[in-house]
Amino acid sequence: MAQKMMLYWGSGSPPCWRLMIALEEKKLQGYKHKHLSFDKKEHQCEEVKALNPRVQLPTFKHGDLVVNESFAACLYLESAFKSQGARLIPEDPAEQALVYQRMFETDNLQQKMYDVAYYEWFVPEGERHESALKRNKETLVAELKLWDGYLEKMGKGSFLAGKDFTMADVVCFPVIAYFPRFHCPKEKCPRLMEYYEMVKDRPSIKASWPPHWLENPEGPDTLKNL
């Protein structure tokens, strides 16, 4: 079945990475894939344009079905291959609700991290306002504290939505992985960093680790002064 799948992806992209983790968890190794460079704008190739009107990655095709939003593609894989590999969405409605809650909260964490990182990367130094950067950092620290509280409440050794690895972890881990890579101080999110250390060696995550992170394990110190 995996041979009928095609994934266009970019290294280090959280949406691409989460879909690759889901494919590994559902035992769908052997799918066709094409690694495209964002820096070289290879993702704007005609192959992607023909499948994805937004010309974004991931672009995912299974037979004649095209699913380009990473959350939708991950949920599709769980539904289509429910009895294969890891069960990523629990049966219990209350447990499902928590998984979905953490999944969709991931966008908040990711956007607040981007607000800090992108401000320093892309706003020219002469146009920066310290008050804006300070506000972005304070908002991100508050978000990290919130996630730390979630893990604290569930207890040591817990995953993001309970005792089992679920779609919440599939979706959120690629975002969380940026915090140690960007040298976020551990004291800002100690529980989240404990979670990172617990999950980073999971086979599905190791198998899909961004290639350029393997080549350059040390990322920029963007969050050093958070």
As beta bridge partners, residue 7 has: 33, 60
Q: What CATH homologous superfamily does 2-80 map to?
A: Glutaredoxin (3.40.30.10)
CA 196 to chain centre: 12
Q: What is the pLDDT of residue 126?
A: 67
Q: What is the pLDDT of residue 131?
A: 81
* Beta pairing class for 65-67 and 32-35: unpaired
* DSSP H helical ranges for the chain: 14-25, 46-51, 70-80, 93-122, 130-154, 167-176, 178-181, 190-199, 203-207, 211-215
pTM for the whole structure: 0.95
Alpha-carbon torsion (136, 140, 213, 67), positive or negative: negative
The reply to whether domains 2-80 and 93-215 share a CATH topology is no
Query: What is the C-alpha to C-alpha distance for residues 28 and 142, in angstroms, rounded to an integer?
Result: 37
Q: What is the pLDDT of residue 2?
A: 87
As beta bridge partners, residue 30 has: none
Query: What is the C-alpha to C-alpha distance for residues 148 and 116, in angstroms, rounded to an integer?
Result: 19
Task: State yes or no: cis peptide before 58, omega within 30 of 0.
Answer: yes
- Report the chain (226 residues): mean pLDDT per 10 consecutive residues: 93 98 98 96 96 97 97 98 97 98 97 87 70 90 98 96 98 98 97 98 98 94 92
Query: What is the C-alpha to C-alpha distance for residues 83 and 190, in angstroms, rounded to an integer?
Result: 35
Contact 72, 62 (CB under 8 A): no
Instruction: Name the fold adopted by 93-215.
Output: Glutathione S-transferase Yfyf (Class Pi); Chain A, domain 2 (1.20.1050)
Domain ranges in the chain are 2-80, 93-215
